[in-house]
A and B are shown apart, each in its own frame.
Chain A
Amino acid sequence: QKEVEQDPGPLSVPEGAIVSLNCTYSNSAFQYFMWYRQYSRKGPELLMYTYSSGNKEDGRFTAQVDKSSKYISLFIRDSQPSDSATYLCAMRTNAGKSTFGDGTTLTVKP
């Protein structure tokens, strides 16, 4: 079993929709939770960074961490065609290296 499982997708939504991207994990020592966005033929770029449980909002993006359920989510409001990309969740312990999910490919159709 993988330490990090990400909803595989692909996901296709109309412009303006609310998008929910999700990951589960098994390692209770994970403390830091990240979401990366990767456009085609580019490297991943950090989108959201959260420490421990709770919500974090940045513009149209909200990251949610529920450590009791070992579940994290990224919500995108008012999705735009420019949001079309692969989204990777990642998490790590206090002293460890990041473990990445397999990614969910999102297409937002105009």
Chain B
Amino acid sequence: SAVISQKPSRDICQRGTSLTIQCQVDSQVTMMFWYRQQPGQSLTLIATANQGSEATYESGFVIDKFPISRPNLTFSTLTVSNMSPEDSSIYLCSVEVRGPQQETQYFGPGTRLLVL
């Protein structure tokens, strides 16, 4: 299993500013993911972050807007840059742990962001 913590748990920000969200895992993992979850909508993958390489971004998400760091196997950050009200959402960090019979994805508690 994996236990994931995120900081901050919530924040209210002004448009045009940036917020960095931290994700800490209690064990070493290769693959970390960042998702966005808007009310009543599914989880949308922003990017996959592997240690030692550039993050891979999904269609519609760019590095300039959502820069990601992955300095080691237990930590990652996601920055939401030049925020607008449309960025208000829950941001979730996730890791994949491969077991003998299945791959399990674990999620952090999320960071609730409100942009005014």
A residues at B contact (CB < 8 Å)? 4, 6, 32, 34, 36, 41-46, 49, 51, 88, 90, 97-98, 100-103
Contacts and interface: CB of A to CB of B under 8 A. Distances in A.
Given A97-B48, A100-B42, A102-B41, A44 B107 contact: yes
A46 B104 contact: yes
A44 B43 contact: yes
B42 A41 contact: no
Interface string B23-50: 0000000000100000011110100100
B110 A42 contact: yes
Given A43-B4, A101-B42, 20 more contacts: A4-B42, A6-B42, A36-B107, A41-B110, A42-B110, A43-B92, A43-B107, A43-B108, A44-B107, A46-B106, A49-B104, A51-B102, A88-B42, A90-B105, A97-B48, A100-B43, A102-B40, A102-B41, A102-B42, A103-B40
Nearest to B93: A43
